[in-house]
Amino acid sequence: MTDATDRADRYAIGMATRRQVLGDAHVDRAQSQTTPFDQDFQTFITEGAWGSVWSRPHFTKRERSIVTIALLAALGQDNEVAMHVRATQNTGASREDVIEALLHVAVYAGVPAANHAIKIAKSVYEEIDAAKNGEAP
């Protein structure tokens, strides 16, 4: 197999995994906003994050989701925390999993980081619950 074939396979696997985790609507929106400026970046994250790391067999999607939320919270990546909390609807990570991960963040990365991420998660869950109940967000 050539490097180009390997990359094409990683991209296809990555795109499938990205869609499983984030949902078609999110990925379609991201793809529609891609320009020549960020095309290489989009390819990189699809192949690397989604096609290589998220597609590995050892951790389940649920476990990767929990780890990812904890890391993003520890790094203060607010938008990414919200996106991955939304993705728990697709990964099987429960609200209990998320709060347990954020308790670890409090101990190992600091209470302020965890406190802020908890506020974000609560807000996302309120949006999810409102949508399930047919309410406006």
Do residue 39 and residue 102 come from a single domain? no
Do residue 40 and residue 76 come from a single domain? no
Looking at the structure of the chain, the number of domains it has is 2
| Confidence band, pLDDT 50/70/90 cuts, at residue 19 | very high
Nearest to 49 by CA among 33, 27, 76, 32: 27
Token pair belonging to 103: 């308790």
pTM equals 0.91
pLDDT surpasses 90 at 30: yes
User: What is the overall mean pLDDT for the chain?
Assistant: 95
Of 58, 80, 106, the residue at which a domain comes to its end is 58
Of 36, 58, 80, the residue at which a domain comes to its end is 58
pLDDT surpasses 80 at 2: no
Over residues 122-131, mean pLDDT: 97
SS3 annotation, 35-104: CCCCHHHHHHHHHHHHHHHCCCCCCCHHHHHHHHHHHHHHHCCHHHHHHHHHHHHHHCCCHHHHHHHHHH
Nearest to 21 by CA among 67, 61, 76: 61
Instruction: Supply the pLDDT for residue 6.
Output: 87
Token pair belonging to 102: 């954020």
Q: Name the 3-class secondary structure at 107.
A: helix
Instruction: Supply the pLDDT for residue 7.
Output: 82
Q: In which domain, by residue range, is 65 found?
A: 59-137
Do residue 67 and residue 94 come from a single domain? yes
Number of Cβ within 10 Å of residue 74's Cβ equals: 20
Dist CA 22 CA 88 (whole Å): 9
Nearest to 124 by CA among 83, 94, 92, 91: 83
The 10s digit of each residue's pLDDT in 57-84 is: 999 999 999 999 999 999 999 999 999 9
The 10s digit of each residue's pLDDT in 84-115 is: 999 999 999 999 999 999 999 999 999 999 99
Do residue 13 and residue 71 come from a single domain? no
Cα Rg of the chain, angstroms: 16
Do residue 73 and residue 134 come from a single domain? yes
Do residue 23 and residue 69 come from a single domain? no
Do residue 117 and residue 66 come from a single domain? yes
Instruction: Supply the pLDDT for residue 5.
Output: 65
